[in-house]
Amino acid sequence: MCSTLILVSCSNDILDRTPLDEISEPEFWKTTSDLELYANSFYNKLPGWSGVGFGSAQMPDVGTDLGLGTGVSSRLDGSQGIPNSNSNSLWSWDEVRQANYFVSNMDKAVGLEVEVNQYKGEGYFFRAYFYYDLFKKYGDLPIYDAYFDNLNTDELYKARSPRNEVADFILADLDKAIALLKPKGDLAMPRINKEAAQLFKATIALYEGTWEKYHNGTAFGVAGSDGTVYLQQAADAAKALIDGGTRALNPSYGGMFNQTNLSTNSEIILWKEYDFASLGNSFGNDAQVTWPNNFSYSLESIRSYLALDGLPTAVSTLTTDDKELANIETNRDPRLAETLMVPGDVTVINVDGSMLFWEEPTVGQSVGAYESQKYRITTLDPSTNNYSRNTAKIIMRYGEALLIYAEAKAELGTITQADLDISINKLRERAGFDFVANPTAKLTLAPVTDPNWPDYGHNISSVLQEIRRERAVELMNEGFRLDDLMRWGAHKLFVAKRPKGAYYETLIVDVAPNLDSDADGYLDPYAIELADGYGFNPDRDYLLAIPAEELVLNPNLEPQNPGW
């Protein structure tokens, strides 16, 4: 049996000699082992770290308003263009086709019902997973609910269905998966589980609900829908996961992200394990070796963190400072200290117990000078006397369900104090806010004012502003930000603007003189590349263009996405 989330290649004879979607029926689809073997191939498609030797490990939020890379994001800059062909594999249906082949054949297998159901549930989950990836990029899609060969012209030249129908199809698959999959605690090995399907349903329903709400009346919206139906599904799915009681917040926020093994972590729902020593370069990563991984947080991200009394820094009476890295974490949300590197933070714990400490940023690789503490494993591996190459990758965790529940309820206008107490306030309490010493640290329904709230381009309540802030901080650099900007229709936040970095203090000047800074003294790393700010076109760039060649091959895919 193959280990699933450890990225192990299966060496089974059938898969070696026959393409996954061309396995002949006489030799396959008989047992639960056959289902497991085929389903294992899907796990490599889940997000992970790049393998050893690929250079810097891509930080998940790079290229957004919260995470800066050494280059400019083409998505926010609107510079991706219309691909002439599908050579870039953006409009790729290979994974959906393979999932459909599995779904179309899985009923043939015979075995213990609960085991057969587990793999059937995985089939529906992965079809939803692959469809969602295309859905976020293109919106309207052809709906394929079964496998077909290359002679079926009706399916090959199928038209696109409206995005809400595609969303319904994806969510229906997840309902099937939820009914079939085992709970995480009943699985002997780390596999797709009921909780993962519940969380994924909540994620997708929130995405579509807020998309339809904030794109209402535009070319990207759905006529006659404000997203309420999906927002309710998001709230219900997240609440079902919460009420199930099988997952709980990990006691330590920062302690989740610097591990090589998360098998016993109460918060983790789905994760990817690596084993470089046993399996080689493709099964290890350079997340630690190539630090700071060509990544920096932005000034905007750092300013998202509240003061320790739970109030925005602009209105708090506590002293806060964003002009010196040495002081920036003082009187701030404790998660900032578990996210950002500042002078005195440990960078290496040698095998003999001696330590090395962070002194200043490596500005050539961290252009904004805000280096990440998150994901940093400082303890050297005793077997190699070097950094670990097995940093675990979190794919799904329980904390996201709490954020989805609060956001969906706030968007629906039905949120209560009890809802906040089982969601946002649980996260703040875990982070280290003291509600007794600082009662204002607890989020309530009472109006809050922050003169520096982000301008998303639409009016939202103060409680929703704070829930969005909480989402940004709790999920900082975990890969959610681009999707959030797209579904919120939040182009006003970044169009014709460029993200800034740390204050150009003496500490940074001494190691990197002559850097660009703005009129207020903050690093301006994209001053040349983005002289006029991000060029995102809100009438076009919320969706990608279907490759021109695909429209020639199948004219029924027309019309092209708006603005293209």
Write the pLDDT tens digit of every residue in 506-557: 999 999 999 999 999 999 999 999 999 999 999 999 999 999 999 999 999 9
pLDDT at 244: 98
pLDDT at 90: 80
pLDDT band at 88 (very low <50, low <70, confident <90, very high): low
- Beta 296-297 vs 67-68: how paired, if at all? antiparallel
Cβ atoms < 10 Å from Cβ of 545: 22
Q: Is residue 490 pLDDT above 50, yes or no? A: yes
The alpha carbon dihedral of 289, 293, 299, 303 has a sign of negative
Q: Is residue 3 pLDDT above 50, yes or no? A: no
pLDDT band at 184 (very low <50, low <70, confident <90, very high): very high
State what percent of residues in the chain have pLDDT above 90.
87
Cβ proximity of 184 and 246 under 8 Å? yes
pLDDT at 24: 61
DSSP 58: P
Among the listed residues 422, 525, 543, 549, the one whose alpha carbon sits nearest the alpha carbon of residue 483: 543
Q: How far apart are CA 283 and CA 377, in angstroms?
A: 17
pLDDT band at 497 (very low <50, low <70, confident <90, very high): very high
H runs (alpha helix) in 432-490: 462-474, 481-487
Cβ atoms < 10 Å from Cβ of 92: 13
pLDDT at 27: 77
pLDDT at 190: 87
Mean pLDDT of 405-412: 98
In the chain, the amino acid numbered 209 is G
Scanning the structure block, which residue is given the tokens 């079939």?
A: 180
Weakest mean pLDDT among 57-61, 254-258, 277-281 = 277-281
Q: Is residue 406 pLDDT above 80, yes or no? A: yes
Q: How far apart are CA 205 and CA 555, in angstroms?
A: 30
Is 479 buried (19+), middle (13-18) or exposed (0-12) by CB count in 10 A?
middle
Q: Is residue 26 pLDDT above 50, yes or no? A: yes
pLDDT band at 87 (very low <50, low <70, confident <90, very high): low
Encoding tokens for residue 208? Answer: 């579509």
pLDDT band at 23 (very low <50, low <70, confident <90, very high): low
Q: How far apart are CA 450 and CA 549, in angstroms?
A: 49
Q: Is residue 17 pLDDT above 80, yes or no? A: no
State what percent of residues in the chain have pLDDT above 70.
95
Among the listed residues 269, 104, 102, the one whose alpha carbon sits nearest the alpha carbon of residue 194: 269
Mean pLDDT of 219-245: 97
Domain 13-45+91-274 maps to which CATH number in 1.25.40.390, 3.40.50.1220, 2.40.50.140, 3.40.50.300?
1.25.40.390
pLDDT band at 25 (very low <50, low <70, confident <90, very high): low
pLDDT at 454: 96
- Beta 346-349 vs 393-397: how paired, if at all? unpaired
Scanning the structure block, which residue is given the tokens 């974490």?
A: 329
C-alpha distances (whole Å) from 280 to each of 52, 283, 317, 535 are 8, 6, 53, 41
349: left (phi over 0), alpha (psi -120 to 50) or beta: beta
In the chain, the amino acid numbered 540 is R
Q: How far apart are CA 505 and CA 494, in angstroms?
A: 25
pLDDT at 11: 34
pLDDT at 200: 98
Query: What does the mean pLDDT of the chain come to?
Result: 93
Q: Is residue 4 pLDDT above 50, yes or no? A: no
Among the listed residues 102, 7, 121, the one whose alpha carbon sits nearest the alpha carbon of residue 395: 7
pLDDT band at 12 (very low <50, low <70, confident <90, very high): very low
pLDDT at 9: 35
H runs (alpha helix) in 269-397: 276-279, 299-302, 334-337
To the nearest 10 degrees (0 to 180), the angle between helices 163-180 and 113-138 is 160
Cβ proximity of 335 and 344 under 8 Å? no
pLDDT at 13: 36
For the CA atoms of 388, 393, 399, 404, what is the dihedral angle to 10 degrees? Answer: 150
Among the listed residues 183, 374, 371, the one whose alpha carbon sits nearest the alpha carbon of residue 292: 371
pLDDT band at 8 (very low <50, low <70, confident <90, very high): very low
Q: Is the pTM of this model over 0.75?
A: yes
Among the listed residues 300, 121, 277, the one whose alpha carbon sits nearest the alpha carbon of residue 197: 121
Indicate the SS3 state at residue 347.
strand
Is 453 buried (19+), middle (13-18) or exposed (0-12) by CB count in 10 A?
middle
Scanning the structure block, which residue is given the tokens 């056959």?
A: 34
Secondary-structure breakdown of the chain: helix, strand, coil percentages, each rounded to the nearest 5 = 40, 5, 55
pLDDT at 83: 83
Reported residue count of the chain is: 564
Q: How far apart are CA 149 and CA 151, in angstroms?
A: 5
130 phi and psi angles, rounded to 5 deg: -70, -35
Q: Is residue 10 pLDDT above 60, yes or no? A: no
Mean pLDDT of 4-18: 39
Using alpha carbons only, give the angle 335, 338, 339 rounded to the nearest 5 degrees.
90
pLDDT at 36: 97
Q: Is residue 217 pLDDT above 60, yes or no? A: yes
Q: Is residue 461 pLDDT above 60, yes or no? A: yes
Q: Which residues contact 409 (CB under 8 A, 6 or more apart)?
A: 235, 415, 416, 419
